A and B are shown apart, each in its own frame.
Chain A
Amino acid sequence: MDFQLEEKGQLVTILLAGELDMSVSEQLGQLVRTQGRQHERIDIDFAAVSFVDSAGIGSIFFAAKELLANGKQVEIINIQEEIYDILQVLGFGEALGLTLRKAN
């Protein structure tokens, strides 16, 4: 997994790339939490994500849940069709009460 950060005032976009599986879950959760503490709005860009599993996505789920509970704004954007389908089966957006935004 690779990532880049784009900051615009209180908005940070985390551009994730590669495979989000169990081996990166801890690092991923930490990344979202850290950025969430420093910004009011966190967009997680999935455009370059080629794989997700329940452990990888689970770490984003628990981190995002905390941020939402603290009044922060979290969005998952630019999701590829295949990955979107997997997130739907995992119940990711539904469980967080988020609208998942597909890539155009």
Chain B
Amino acid sequence: MLLCDQCPENPGCTNCLDGLKANGMGKKVIPPRPITATHLASGAKLKAELRAVSRLTIGLRTYEKWPPGRYEVELSADYRIIGSAGPSLDKQCYIVLDIEKVLRKEDILERLLLEEFHSWHLSHELEPSAILSKLGPEEEKQRELIKQELQKLSILRQLQKLYMFVWEDGQLKSLEGGHSPALNEIGEAAIAEAVEKALGSGQARREQVMSTRLHQIYDVHVLPLNERTCGVVILDVTEAVAAERERQMQEWELYRHVLALVTQGKLVLLRDQQMYQMIKKATHCFTQRIDQPTDLAGLRQKLRESLERFAFASQRVLPFIVAVNEAASNMLKYGNGGVIDLYWSEQEQKCCVVVLDQGLGMVLEELPKLTLQKGYSTRQSMGAGFQVMLQYCDKVGLNSSVFGTRMVLEIVRKKRPV
């Protein structure tokens, strides 16, 4: 009997089912499942693919000659089928075993329960190569590579939610069988896009994709193997990302405490909300853009005029101007300039200068050195800018992220002795 060998692309073909002689009660195994069958009399192990099953028979696509006799087909350690085959003819590629026993976890049946088999088939992962279409011998290496890559990742699977697929000729095939829940969350279009980029560049890609409902985060890894085939792995990293965020918050709190302690409360790391609180009841006085070093003189002039208007003690004016000037110079040294705003709080009798740049931000781990260690600078300067700010301001608030650095420099007008 000739098989079409096109499962599952040829749903109209019933050759494998007809061979079962199950009067239309058989079912195709899609995708075909590679198995090993042991010839019980000789102990010989033979490779085959399970193509069709019925309650009393199973159909196996074979690639070698099978001796007649009893066989044990191992689906998994606790799921085996014992059946017998009649003499095979030369060039016969399809063997039908008459089921004698089905050995399951706890009992032995004389029939195959099709529903049970079907759910087992869906829940037991296939080897990646099983669902790749036939490749030429020169592509065997690539098949082996995809198998190895995905097998490595299967270890990860025990640690977190991981979904594995093979992309071939525009189609995503799950290694788990059935439809993966991760696919519903992400949408196949997002994966197709990542695959397209990976295939275009020939390089492995990693992308982070939010679920369509924005409550899950997935890492999508695409490993191109040839011009049309990729291994695709989707990891649900929602919990890992949340845990990392929590860890970063704790680390940030620790730095905040330590920096405040060693500066006697002068240097304060601020969250966005706290930064807003610092200036929300204050009156805005002026804005100065700093794009080049020559803008600094204008800033100093405006600042001097404001501080004198608010009647700050004359000996405090120049030092505070120097401090603000340092913050402004830093914007030019480490970023591409930025904006400076001055606020006056009548209620708290203080001036707040908000310095906002769009530079690279400061790395949290670098903050103690940058802010406290004299002479530490990533550019050629005295590396003492922060010392000046801490020395001459009453408080320095710092909010730094990858989006840039924001600082609030505060000077409080002291009450004159009566």
Contacts and interface: CB of A to CB of B under 8 A. Distances in A.
Interface of A: 19, 21-23, 25, 51-55, 57-58, 61-62, 82, 85-86, 89-92, 95
A91 B382 contact: yes
Contacts of B322: 51-53, 86
B362 interface: no
Given A51-B318, A82-B318, A91-B374, A57 B293 contact: no
Contact of A53 (B325, B374, B380): B325
Given A23-B294, A58-B381, A58-B382, A85 B333 contact: no
A56 B329 CA distance: 10
B385 A54 contact: yes
B367 interface: no
B380 A58 contact: yes
B190 interface: no
B130 interface: no
A52 B318 CA distance: 10
B384 A21 contact: no
Given A19-B300, A91-B382, 8 more contacts: A22-B293, A51-B325, A54-B326, A54-B329, A86-B318, A89-B392, A91-B375, A91-B387
Given A21-B329, A82-B318, A55 B381 contact: yes
4 closest cross-chain pairs (CB), A and B: A23-B293, A58-B381, A54-B382, A22-B293
Interface string B276-307: 00000000000000001110110010000000
B388 A54 contact: yes
B177 interface: no
B326 A53 contact: yes
Contacts, number: 74
Contacts of B67: none
B20 to A, nearest CB: 86
Nearest to B325: A53
A86 B315 CA distance: 12
Secondary structure type dominating chain A contacts: helix
Contacts of A52: 322
A17 to B, nearest CB: 14
Nearest to A80: B318
A61 B382 contact: yes
Interface string B314-328: 010011011001100
B382 A51 contact: no
Contact of B297 (A19, A57, A62, A86): A19
A95 B375 contact: yes
Nearest to A92: B382
Given A53-B329, A55-B329, A90-B382, A21 B293 contact: yes
Nearest to B333: A55
20 contacts: A19-B297, A22-B296, A22-B329, A22-B333, A51-B300, A51-B321, A52-B322, A53-B388, A54-B326, A54-B381, A54-B382, A54-B384, A54-B385, A55-B293, A58-B381, A86-B388, A91-B382, A91-B384, A91-B387, A92-B382
A22 B318 contact: no
B329 A86 contact: no
Contacts of A23: 292-294, 296-297
A59 to B, nearest CB: 9
A22 B326 CA distance: 10
A20 to B, nearest CB: 11
Contacts of B388: 53-54, 86, 89-90
A89 B329 contact: no
A13 B367 CA distance: 40
Most buried by B among A51, A61, A89: A89
Contacts of A91: 374-375, 382, 384, 387
Nearest to A23: B293
Contacts of A58: 380-382
A28 B384 CA distance: 19
